[in-house]
Structure formats: C-alpha cells, structure tokens
Structure 1
Amino acid sequence: MRRLSKAQFIAALMSTAAMLAGPALAAESPAPSADDAVANRLDEVTVTARRRAESEQKVAAALTVISGSELDRRNIQTVNDLENSVPNLEVTSQLGGGQPQFRIRGVGLTDYAANNTGTVGVYVDEIAYPYGSMTQGALFDVARIEVLRGPQGILYGRNTTGGAVSVITNAPTRTFDAGVTASYGRFDAAHVDGFVSGPLTETLAARLAVTTDQGGAWQYNRDTHEKLGDKDRWAARLKLDWKPSDKTEIDGSVHYNRDQSDGLGLRLVTRPFQSHNYAPIGRLYPIDTDPRITGWGISPYFAQLIGAPTNAKPFRNNEGWGVNTRLRHDFGWAALTAVVGYEDFKRREFNDWDATASNEAGTYFFNKIDTLSQEVRLASPGDKAFRWLTGLYHSTETVNGGFYSDFSEAASLKDWMSTTYKQDVETTGVFFNLDYDLTQRLTLSGGLRWEDETRELKGFKTEILAPTYSLLASTSKNRHMGEWSGKVGAEYHFTGNVLGYASVARGVKSGGFTTYNSGLPSQLDPFDPEKLIAYETGVRSEFFDRRLRVNAAVFYYDYRDEQLQGVLYTQTGRVGRIINVPKSHIEGGELEITWKPTARLTISQSLGYKYGQYDEFFFVNATATEAAKDPVTGQYNKIIYSDRSGERLPFPRVDYKGSVSYVMDVGAWQVEAETNYNYRSDQFSTSSNSVIGDYWLFNASLTARPANGKYAVGVWMNNVTNSYFEETRNAFISAATASPHEPRTYGVRVSYRY
C-alpha cells in the first residue's frame, strides 16, 4: 500500500478539520434536537429495485442507494464519479475516451469500440442505455441511484452478468417548486443547474430541469503549454406526469444533451517514446513527470478527413436525445406497467493515443446509435403471501459508423486507415418471478428468463485510405444467442430489522464482434456470450432504533467464457481482439455500515473485497513474444503461448470508501461539514502489461444555510491531497500511456430553493 507523504497527510487532516471542530462550535449554540427520535434515525429510502415500492432495507440483495442530496453533497456530476461511493464498483474510460466501462465485483468488459454492450446494465427512468458512450450525459436533477450487484434480468430490462445501475430522476411535483445551484472553481470551472416544477392542471404536472458545465482545463501541452480539459456541455429534460384517475398514471419525458468538451490527454509512462516523424531518428519523449503534462498533434490530411482545424486538440462533439413514456394501471388483482423509450446518440470524438505531437495513433470515432426498447410487466399485489411478476422485453438497436486512424508517422504503418460497419441487434426476453411467504419470517423466491438475440455485423471494412488505397478486410457476420438465466433464493427475517438471505443466480451477457482495424480474418470472428453462476449470502440489518445500519454480503462466481480484451499477433504486428476465457472464478464480499449516533453526526463506511483467477486459459505470452521480435526487421518470428491458469484477474482487490458529515449551529446559521474518501488497491493492466498503482482520494465540503432558509453557500475541495493516480494504462503502437485523474480542485457553491 502506498503511504501518504507528509504534505498529503496534513491536507487529509485539514479536510476533516471542520467536522472534528463541530462539537466545540456547537457547544456555543443552543442544544441541538438530538433527543428527537425521528431526527436521530437514518433516512428510510423507498426503492423500486425489485419493481415494487419498498424500503431499501427490505430488499434481499446486495443493493447500494445514493440519494440525490448525497450526489449534490459529494459533487458527483457524471456516472464515472459513482465509483467513489459504491463498494466493488469501478467506472473507467478506456484510453481516457468518452466511453465509460462499468465493472461490478470484477465483472466488466473493457472495449473502446462503440458496438458492444457492457456486463452492467445502465438505466435512466427504466430505459436501458446499452452502450457505454450513451451514459456520458450529466447526472442532474436525480432523485436517487440504485446499484444492484450480481446477475440481473429476471425482473426487468436486459440480461447482465455484473449488475445494474438504475438512475431515477425527480418526478414532477403537485405544488410549485423551483431551485438553482451554481458553482465556480479552480481552472475556471463553472457548473449551473436548475429546475422548475408544478401542476399544469388538476391531473397533469410538469418538471423542467437544465444543467451546464463550462471550463476547467487542467492539462497542458508539454511543447506549446496550450491548455486542455475545458468542458462545454449542457442538457435539459422535460417530464410530464398525468393521473387521470386513482388507478391510472401516465408519465414520460423528453431530453437532450450536447457535449463539445475537450478530450482527456494521456501521459507517457513506464518507458520513453521514440517518435518516427523525423527520419532516420525521431524525437525522444522522456517519461512524463508532471501529472498535468500531455501532448497531441494532428496531420493536415487527418484534419481534413474528420472536418477539424489543423490545430485541433482532442475533442468531443457528442449529441443525444430521447423520448420515453410509461403507463401504470392497477386492475386490483394485478398492476400493469408498460414502458417504451427511444434513444438517439451521435458520438464524434478525436483522441490522440500516443500523447505526443507525432501522428502515430490519432483516432476519430464517428458513430450513430439508435435504440428502441419496449417492456410490459404484470405484477400481483405486494401485500399477499404469494406474489408473482411476469414480463416481456423487446429491443432493436442499430450502431452505424466506425473510426479513422492516423498512423502516418508510426514506425511500421505510415498510413491513414478507416474501419466502418453497421450493426443491427434484435433482442427479446421473457421473464417471470415468484415469491412465497412460507411463514411469517421465511420467504422463498425463484425466477427464470429466456433471451433470444440476433446480432448482425454488416458491411465491415478496414481500408488504407492514403497514401495508397488498399482494402484490408471486408465481411459481414452474424451471431445468434438463445440463453436462459434465473435465480432461486430464500430470505429470513430474524427480527423486524434483521434480514438474512441466500441465492443462486445464473446470468448471461451476449457475445459480439471486435470492430477494430483489421487485416486478419480470425480477428473478425464473433466472440461468445459469457455465463456466470453467482452464489451469494448476506444480511441487511438496523439497530438502536434505526440509528445503526449494517449490510453485508459474500459471494462466489463460477465464470465461464469471460469476455476479455486480448491481442493477436501476426508476423508484422499485434492487433486487439476480444476473446473468451474458458473458465475462471471470483470470490469476495462487501460490508456497508452507516451510523447516526446523534441527529447531527452521520458516518458511513464500506469495504469491498474481491479476488479472481483464471482456471483454464491458454493465451499468448506478450512478454516472451516481444522479446523474440527480430531487432532488425521488426517482425515477430515466433508467437509464444503459455498456460495462464492460476493468474490473478486484472481488477483491484480491495476498495474502502466512506464519509463523515456533521451539522452544527453557528449563530443564526446551520453549517454542515462533510468529507468523503476512497481507497483502491493496485491492479494489473493487460493492455499495457504493467501495474496501475493504488491510491487514496479525499474530498471535502462545507455548506452554510440560515435556519429554515431558502438558500445555501458553501465551499468544496476534490482530491484534497493532490494525489496522482491513473484510471487506465495502454501500450498502443509504441507509446505506453496512462489516463490520469484530475489534481486538486476547489471552489464555491451557492443554491436557492423557492
């Protein structure tokens, strides 16, 4: 474990100083309402994780809920930030691009292309966002986020092996309400969001929410000192809620988002980079030392090809919109829910993956994604001893486009390439679930799902565009999947506040295609679906009149055909390809503790642990193959394979997360001091064949509001200790790069609520 430096340790102490000083300051003010039993209790959040409204503590599953107020307090603005608050969850963007990869309990796909779905299902108001790049819209006006760990699919939505992240946005109110929040921070970063909500008629209510982020460039070019990292994004959402009767409700929304921000610059790590743009010997770039250093470049031909200026820096020009509606009707004997949603997303993104002025790995993604999903569920009343739910899910998806690559100054390629394709996907899932209260304390449950999917790759082409045109690959392929998943479990109420559960579940994640630059027929073969059998047991409990909450779970995963980003070698080079690992396993658990000893003090802690290894895996030995490379011709004369069984799976083993919040009275003001922190252990990067180090991350905030007032002012600081750490690493072409996290940022925030 890496130790904090003296300066970092002092800064970490300062981040909690306000909280520690709380009792002393509070002693000068009138006694708090600590004797109020209700104020002393932890909030009871109603969730819909099992598609019925119930307390989060009654859900017999590994569930973490983050409220909208907690998102605001922790300054969480994108899905990537969720990893700092949920045990055994990581959200990383491959190669620093605009496509986050979700991993829960070590189960997650790593892929920078746009056409493959993830192992974790992401939903916004019950609408699936199956492709990672679609999830990059800002989190705003959110009521709560529910994160379920383990295979999902027998209650709603898509079939997944890792889990589900469900975002529930705020609903329209039946009385007028409005609010606005604005913040300004280091690197001229500005953030504003607001909403207005209320009734339009006696039966119809509406809510309009908007948000924007501007500025914040924290990186700079090592050669020109030009800044990089400015945000330029905004989003809006209009929701309507119509209740024509006590038994019928129809709600829906339309939303739009636009992201024209700078991209993330990469850093050179592990080894110097010898460029090839000035023959016979190019410039030697040393390993970067300043965490904020990066570099980029673009050739005139590539700039013309992608429609960018000749001085373009890494950028995004993404745009998305969608519309959805949901019908709920209570027949008395059962409740009907019907959901339909359409999402349209355009990805336009330029990345420089060699992180220098040399044009050896420039990449421009251009994709258009269209998804149409429909779901119908029928559920029995929730107050009966025997409860059932059945449903039908259907979706059609189209991914068009591809990417351009600038290898014009690379050692072995020296060309510009294009990879294009169209992918059509049609999925139908049928599912049902049963719950039966065998006694007042014991409940048995079981569910099944059958999913049929056809995935077609049409018109795939990899072409050399210049200096001389050449068609490297052209094909069309398809992949059909018909798989079942299911779950059986039991839950036992030891007391009204202590629930134990155990379950066995089977999850499936669909196969797909590796849509990277290709000149090899074997690279284009579809990879198979992955299957996972999850054994889990846990407890959800509350003590001391709901002031202490302890939730824990342990699990064992039998993992088959795990999808892994691997490599293939030819005589002249290496190419990426998603492969299947025949057999592996993962084991671990989570512990979450929330304690409210007084009405003013709240402490939350969580610990996640997971360990996995390959049980059957025979794969290329990259180190030995590189060592056997001919130093004169640069060709790989011998491709060496080795037995990888017994090796550790490439994900962090331990994460520790927590927060402390204290509310005090200072004169006529109420002041809340909050700090949160996150530790993640090291992990091995298969793409760079190196270790990404462990790290600590500390954040803090101080917010003041007049008693019963409508406004608040505050200050915040993220990455208090100014720690340097990396999200991903990669050895792309001859450069070894890493995507860095932001340094220390801080700012002020004001809010007003009508």
Structure 2
Amino acid sequence: MTKAPPRPSRALRVSALAAALAALSTTALAQEVAPAAGDPAVTLDRLEVTAQRRVENIQDVPVSISTLSGEKLDVFASGGGDVRFLSGRVPSLNIESSYGRAFPRFYVRGLGNTDFDLNASQPVSLLYDEVVQESPLLKGFPVFDLERIEVLRGPQGTLFGRNTPAGVVKFESAKPSQDANGYARVAAGSDGMWNVESAYGAPLTDRWSARVSALYQRREDSVDNTLAGAPNDGFEGYDESAARVQFLYEGEAFEGLFNLHKRHLNGTARLFRANIIQPGSNDPVPGFDRDRVSVDGVNFSELDTWGGSARLRWDLGEHNLHSITGYETAESLNRGDIDGGFGAAFLGEGNYGPGFIPFASESADGLPDHRQVTQEFRIESDYGGAFEWQAGVFWFDEDISIDSFNYDSLAPGNPQTGLAVQTQRNKAWAVFASGDYDLTERFTLRGGLRYTKDKKDFSASVVQAVPFGAPVGGPYRVETDASDVSWDLSGVFALNDDVNLYARVAKGFRAPSIQGRLAFASPDAPNGGVSTADSEEVVSFEAGIKADLWDRRARIGFNVFRYDVDDQQIIAVGGGSNIATLLNADKSRGQGFELDLEAYVTDSLLVTLGSSYNDTQIKDRNLAVPGCGGGCTVTDPAVLDPETGDPTGLYLIDGNPLPQAPEWVHNLTARWGVPVGDGGEFFVFTDWAYRSEVNFFLYESVEFRGKSSLEGGLRVGYNWNGGDYEVAAFGRNITDTTRIVGGIDFNNLTGFLNEPRTVGVEFTARF
C-alpha cells in the first residue's frame, strides 16, 4: 500500500489557527454587553484551584487548566454515565475504554495509552482527594458529591510525580464542615435507568464534622442477543454503587481529614460487534441494528474497590506541614466475547456470523490481588512575602497479580482453555521542591525540581497453554530500575489588574512499563513474549493569557503549546498474531492551542466555550508494527522481505498521528433562566461536545479510523424556594448519534459503539 498524500504544513496551520482564534476571541469579548436595567450586573465568582498544591486564583496559575463543578457537572452526570462523560467536555481531553465502565483510558493533548492490560501505565495521572490512582481500575471511581474537577494540561512532574507527562486530572470531594448541608437526587430514564445519589454533612462537635455520600446507578439490558441458547440473553445493563464517608477535625494548629470510600460494579463488559464496520469505510454495515447482536461468548464485568486516606496539616507559624497517606485496593474479573459473533468459518456455512468469523475468541482478565500504599510529607512556607516555597518526599508501593483467561466458545459450557498470570511489585520514591518569587509587583517567577526513583519486579507464566499459542512455561522475569529528574520553570506577568500573561517550560517522564500477555505469544519469542518499554521523557513549552473581562462578567484563558517526547511508550495491540507488544518510538511531537471562555452574555444567559487543536505526529522512520488481521485497508507503507519482496505484515508508522488523539475538540454550554414567582426559576441548559476523527491503532487504516462525533445534551427544569428544590427533564446524546469508537483488529472488522440516547426526569432537594 502507498501512504496517503502529506497534509499541509502542520506548524503553519497551528500558528494561523491560533492567531485567528485569538483575534476572533478578543474581538468578540471587546463588544459591550448591556447589563439588565435595575439590579447590578451578575459577575463571575473568583475561581480557586489547587493545581500548585495550594489554593490560588486560577488566573494566577501559569498552567493550562480547566475546571468542572456545580450545575455543569450535575448536568453531564444526569444520564447515569461513568467518568467517560467528561470526554471532550474540556479542551484537549479524550477518554475511552474497551472495558466499558471499569477501565477508562485518559488522553490529554493526544498523549495517552491504548493498552488494555490491567498492568498498563498511563501518561495522564488521576488524583482523587490528593491520592494518586495508579491502577487503571481505580481511575473509574464514580463522579458524585464533588467540589470540583481540575484538568491540568502539560507535564506536572514536579508536584505530582512520575507518569504525569501529559497532565493530571484532579477530583476533589465536597468536604465536611461546621455548616450542616446536603442533597438528595433521584433520576429515572430510558432503558430502565436509575441514578440515585445523596450526601449529608454536619458538625459532630465544635471540632469534628462528618459527611456521608452515596450513589446508586442502574440500567437494564438494552441490547438483545438473538442467538438461541447463548449464555447471555442481553447486554449493556449494569448495577453500580459507591459510597464515601469523611471526618474532619479542625483544631487550633492541626487539621485532619479522614476518608473511606468503596465501589461495587456488576454489569456488562464492553460489547464487541463482529463485522460491524463496512469495508472501505468506517460506516456501520447496511441494516445495522444497535439493539441486537448474535454472540456465543460469556459477558460480564465485576469490580470492587475500596480505600482510605488521611490528610493531615500542622500550622507551625510561618510554615505548614502536610502528611497525605493513602491506601487503595481493587478486585475484578471482566469477561467478553472478543470476536463479537458466533461460531467459526471452519464449522461450515451457516455456522458462523454475522459476517466472516475465522475463529472464535473469548477471554477474561482478572485482578485477584491488588494493593497500593502512598505516603507524602510536604512542608510549605507561609511568610506572606515575596518568596514562598514548598518541599517534600513521596513514597509509592504497589503489589498486583493479574490472571488472563482464554475460553472455548464453541464447546458446551464455554470451558477454560488457557491461563497466563502476571505479578508485579512496584516501588517508587521521590524528593521535590518548588518555589515562587515576586521579582516585581507585576512579575512572578516559579520553578521546581523533582528526583524520582522507580523500580519494578515483574514475573509472568503460562499456566495453561492456549491451543496454537505459547506453551506452558515460566516464570519469565523482568526488572527495571529507573531514575529521572522532572522540572518546570514559568513566569507570570500582570499586564494590569485583570490580565495576566504567562509562559512555562516543563519536563516530565513516565517510568518503564512491562507487558506480559503471553497466551498468544510465539513459542520461540524471547523471554516468553514479555516486552518492556523504557522511560519516556516529555519537554513542553506553553505560553498564554488569562483575563477577567467586562468587569468580571467574563473570563478567558488561551494558550499555545508544543511538546516533544523522547522514547515515547506505545503499544502495538492485536494485529494478525493477536499479541500486545510494548515499544518505544524514537520521538513524537504535539502542538496546538487551547481556549476556555466563560461569560454572562446577559444577566440570565451564561455561556461557556472550550476549544482545542492538537496536531500530533510519531517521528520514527524505522518503527514498524503489525497491521490488522481482520480484513482492514491499511494505508501505511508495507515492510517487504528484503530477500523475497513479499509483505511481512508490518507497516511503517512514521508521520502517523497518535492513536485516540483528535485534532479538534470543541465544547459549548449555555444556560438561560428566568425568574418565576417568589424564589422560583424556569431554566434551559444545553451542552454540546465535538471531537474530530481519531485513529484506533498506531497504523492508519480506512476502517479503523473513527469518524468525527458531535453529541449534545438538553435539560429543561424549574427550581423553587431559592433553588432548594428542582425538577427537570433531561436528554443525553439527544440527536442519538451513533459512532464506532473503537475496534478489535485481529479477527474481523469488530467495533464497539458510543453510548445511546438517554432521556429522563430528575428531582433534587437541597438541605
């Protein structure tokens, strides 16, 4: 195959688009908006974040940040969705999963990891109440009773450590206080959807307070299995519950926040659909019906997690000492029909489908043992002067065991036919320091350093051999021992009281990764097929503007960025041999811009707009990966055997965009409200999220390139008694957009879909 013609100069496109958008934004915001007559104009509240581990005005922080909180977050979550509903809701953020609700994969500025192994690392770190959630199964904890979500883009290694070269997503729970308050919310919708959540916090004594939060979500199966005698009659249903209890002690010079949380999920694993993709396109095949499938494999997803944390602070006068202790554990088993259909071609005509199924594939991944312990001690200055600093030490200890099963879908009872096991002990520690200095009344300089040591001891074995796969063997052992220095340097210049300019350069890294999915490895593969990727390092440059406009009726953030990755860790998944292999690309590059805008257009109309452009490119002339084994049309240059001239099944990926990295992400919300009666309001809230095309894999192919997607939401409601009570009708994905958002490439043109339309009603009481 020949590669598609090159696109126009990417650097020129980024520069031109950034300049055009900046000019457009400035022009639009410069226009006067007349406030309503009579009462003073409505203004935006000061937005405080903890992106630099201390509470600051978002306008003063030299990092590209987006936040989600309050009503906007409640609206996005109203359809009973999992954390993936955040995808595309802020610039440069994409979230997807081949596990369903259990295992979200985060991408920021195009940097992420498509690896589906339970041992996979990600370059986007997720922190829940200041505790890192390292395992992918911990990253999907339900979104409820939150104070806010912060999305930090670009390397955050100085203050948040390893595995943050793309960014950090921070969740902050609503905390206990001496003021009693809470809420109860009940929503019911299509497909038997229920979304019930409640929280209440109150003082226990004049020093102690507590808050209890709980969530229950349920949806009935919405997809019927038309195959007679199959193990499952229907799919896409789930029951999920989660709870959190917190205790806060507030003393004269000591504060302690204690947190316990738990999650239980019982539902359907990701539903794969055989030959859903029309050859030569990414369109669903003619006659496709998203409400019906024919599969012969077992499908379920079970996940239990729980953990706790203690966040302590001592006031030492001009210094504050912090201690953050965290413990997390998870147990899961996720099983699915990977070929997405029934039977196999060698059984004869009429005994397989839909479409051509060369062989059956059914597997499961389990996490029978997992624990994670983290400890941080951090001291920060509180001089109230021109120079402030913070420094600390960090410890991480994780122990995991993973079981990978294979099953025979063609035999009665779908018996187990293969088992590979992995174990890994990961220990890491770090020391760090950061400071900021007011060089003048208008210019502040910030910088920091972090030294990290990361060590992994890994072992994998094939306990039960898969037919035509790797023989029983092992243990195959790998050890990695890496160290790195992350750093950042930035400056903020106050152009005036309302406008700040900033520039930032930062370096981050991701520790080495190990992959041991051995069941289908070649019998003569080195070390049984275990693969390792060395550390990756990212250097990012960013410059932007943050401003309050129209007498604080509007707020804008705009930045341009570029990053270069050395030895980027990538995963070649699937392909004709159905194996997963870790690789290091020589280099990759990303560049683009991001815009966040929030404005009261009138006193009754609040509009937010987010937009980003991410141009990513793999830069490695010699890097080749397996193409699909399921009949797709690869457009990358094929690697030929130097002796015979025959295709080797490998394709060069130099110049390809990173997988699951949309060039464009746009999001828009608009809320209009009008007073009704005494203390009542009628309101309309709409939100829209767009992302452009994405590659599902490292290679480019016509079939496995997802189409652009636009999804919208609508909420119409009435609240009364000053907002204490609210009833609303809502819709998510109101246009019922159907998109193929991922694929399995080794067997047939298998794909999986986005979430369908959900409509419902919701009642909320606040007290």
TM-score (norm 2): 0.84
Seen in structure 2, the aligned counterparts of structure 1 residues 125 and 568 have a Cα distance that, compared at 3 Å, is: closer
- 1:361 deviates by 1.9
Seen in structure 2, the aligned counterparts of structure 1 residues 330 and 617 have a Cα distance that, compared at 3 Å, is: farther
Residue 652 (str. 1) matches residue 662 (str. 2): yes
Seen in structure 2, the aligned counterparts of structure 1 residues 643 and 711 have a Cα distance that, compared at 3 Å, is: closer
Seen in structure 2, the aligned counterparts of structure 1 residues 516 and 494 have a Cα distance that, compared at 3 Å, is: same
Q: Is contact 2:363-2:404 (8 Å) kept?
A: yes
Q: Is contact 2:112-2:124 (8 Å) kept?
A: yes
CA distance in 1, matches of 2:233, 2:409: 24
Aligned to 1:155: 159
Residue 582 (str. 1) matches residue 586 (str. 2): yes
CA distance in 2, matches of 1:346, 1:65: 31
Aligned to 1:117: 121
Seen in structure 2, the aligned counterparts of structure 1 residues 335 and 745 have a Cα distance that, compared at 3 Å, is: same
Aligned to 2:318: 333
CA distance in 2, matches of 1:98, 1:617: 36
Report matched runs for 1:542-691 at 5 Å.
Answer: 542-566=548-572, 573-620=577-624, 622=626, 639=648, 641=650, 643-650=652-659, 651-668=661-678, 669-686=680-697, 689=701, 690-691=704-705
For each residue in 1:21-57, what CA deviation from the matched residue of structure 2 results, as whole angstroms up to 9, or x when unmatched?
xxxxxxxxxxx977544x6111322211111111222
CA distance in 2, matches of 1:642, 1:401: 31
CA distance in 1, matches of 2:101, 2:260: 27
For each residue in 1:376-403, what CA deviation from the matched residue of structure 2 results, as whole angstroms up to 9, or x when unmatched?
1111116321111111111100111221
Q: Is contact 1:462-1:474 (8 Å) kept?
A: no
CA distance in 1, matches of 2:364, 2:650: 33
- 1:261 deviates by 1.6
Aligned to 1:22: none
- 1:641 deviates by 4.8
AA at the equivalent of 1:240: F
Seen in structure 2, the aligned counterparts of structure 1 residues 194 and 65 have a Cα distance that, compared at 3 Å, is: same
CA distance in 2, matches of 1:481, 1:164: 22
For each residue in 1:402-448, what CA deviation from the matched residue of structure 2 results, as whole angstroms up to 9, or x when unmatched?
210225659xxx98221101110001011111211110111111111
Aligned to 2:526: 521
Aligned to 2:68: 66
- 1:463 deviates by 3.2
Instruction: Name the SS for the 1:483 alignment partner.
Output: strand
Instruction: Name the SS for the 1:49 alignment partner.
Output: coil
CA distance in 2, matches of 1:350, 1:591: 40
- 1:647 deviates by 2.9
Report matched runs for 1:274-353 at 5 Å.
Answer: 289-298=288-297, 313-353=298-338
Report matched runs for 1:42-441 at 5 Å.
Answer: 42-75=44-77, 77-94=81-98, 96=100, 98-223=102-227, 226-245=233-252, 247-269=253-275, 289-298=288-297, 313-358=298-343, 360-367=360-367, 368-381=369-382, 383-406=384-407, 416-441=417-442
Please identify, of 154-163 and 558-567, the stretch whose mean Cα deviation from structure 2 is larger: 154-163
CA distance in 2, matches of 1:49, 1:468: 48
Instruction: Name the SS for the 1:81 alignment partner.
Output: helix
User: Structure 2, unaligned stretches of length 5 or more?
Assistant: 1-34, 344-358, 639-644
For each residue in 1:582-605, what CA deviation from the matched residue of structure 2 results, as whole angstroms up to 9, or x when unmatched?
112111110111111222110111
Q: Is contact 1:386-1:434 (8 Å) kept?
A: yes
For each residue in 1:319-347, what CA deviation from the matched residue of structure 2 results, as whole angstroms up to 9, or x when unmatched?
01101101111212211111001001111
Q: Is contact 2:506-2:539 (8 Å) kept?
A: yes
Seen in structure 2, the aligned counterparts of structure 1 residues 409 and 529 have a Cα distance that, compared at 3 Å, is: farther
CA distance in 1, matches of 2:77, 2:753: 19
AA at the equivalent of 2:236: G
Seen in structure 2, the aligned counterparts of structure 1 residues 176 and 492 have a Cα distance that, compared at 3 Å, is: same
Seen in structure 2, the aligned counterparts of structure 1 residues 574 and 136 have a Cα distance that, compared at 3 Å, is: closer
Seen in structure 2, the aligned counterparts of structure 1 residues 465 and 641 have a Cα distance that, compared at 3 Å, is: closer
Aligned to 1:738: 751
AA at the equivalent of 1:389: Q
Q: Is contact 1:515-1:524 (8 Å) kept?
A: yes
For each residue in 1:564-589, what CA deviation from the matched residue of structure 2 results, as whole angstroms up to 9, or x when unmatched?
121598xx935221211011211111
User: Structure 1, unaligned stretches of length 5 or more?
Assistant: 1-31, 274-284, 299-312, 630-635
Say how many residue pairs are matched. 685
Q: Is contact 2:88-2:691 (8 Å) kept?
A: no
CA distance in 1, matches of 2:416, 2:366: 19
- The alignment's C-alpha RMSD in Å is 2.8
Instruction: Name the SS for the 2:85 alignment partner.
Output: helix
Please identify, of 471-480 and 333-342, the stretch whose mean Cα deviation from structure 2 is larger: 471-480
CA distance in 2, matches of 1:117, 1:377: 25
CA distance in 2, matches of 1:493, 1:350: 55
Aligned to 2:710: 696
Q: How much identity, in percent, do the aligned residues show?
A: 25
CA distance in 2, matches of 1:443, 1:637: 61
- 1:659 deviates by 0.4
